[in-house]
Amino acid sequence: AEHQHVRYNPLRDDWVLVSAHRVKRPWQGQLEKPPPEDVPRWDPKNPLCPGATRANGEVNPKYEGTFVFPNDFPALQPDAPEPDDSDHPLFQAAPAQGVCKVMCFHPWSDLTLPLMSLPEIRAVIDAWAELMTELGASYPWVQIFENKGAMMGCSNPHPHCQVWASSFLPNEARLEDQTQRQHLSQHGVPMLLEYAEQEARRKERLVVENADWLVVVPYWATWPYQTLLLPRRHVCRLQDLSDSEKDSLASIMQRLLIKYDNLFEVSFPYSMGWHGAPTGAYLEEDCRHWQLHAHYYPPLLRSATVRKFMVGYEMLAQAQRDLTPEQAAERLRSLPEVHYKKRTE
Residues involved in catalysis = 160
Q: How far apart, in whole angstroms, are the C-alpha atoms of residue 152 and residue 171?
A: 20
How big is the CA angle at 197 (ends 321 and 228), to the nearest 5 degrees?
35
Binding region for Fe cation: 176, 275, 293, 295
Please tell me whether residue 176 adopts helix, strand or coil conformation.
Answer: helix
Taking CA atoms, 143 is separated from 103, 139, 165, 210, 220, in Å, by 13, 10, 6, 26, 22
Binding region for UDP-alpha-D-glucose: 22-25, 55, 71-72, 147, 153-155, 162, 308-309, 313-314, 320
Indicate the burial class of 217 (C-beta count within 10 angstroms; 0-12, 13-18, 19 or more): buried
Least Cα distance to 270 among 192, 164, 174, 161 occurs for 161
Q: How far apart, in whole angstroms, are the C-alpha atoms of residue 34 and residue 17?
A: 29
Q: How far apart, in whole angstroms, are the C-alpha atoms of residue 277 and residue 219?
A: 23
CB-based contact 39:58 (threshold 8 Å): no
Number of H helices, E strands in the chain: 6, 14
CB-based contact 325:219 (threshold 8 Å): yes
Binding region: 22-25, 55, 71-72, 147, 153-155, 162, 176, 275, 293, 295, 308-309, 313-314, 320
Q: How far apart, in whole angstroms, are the C-alpha atoms of residue 120 and residue 64?
A: 10
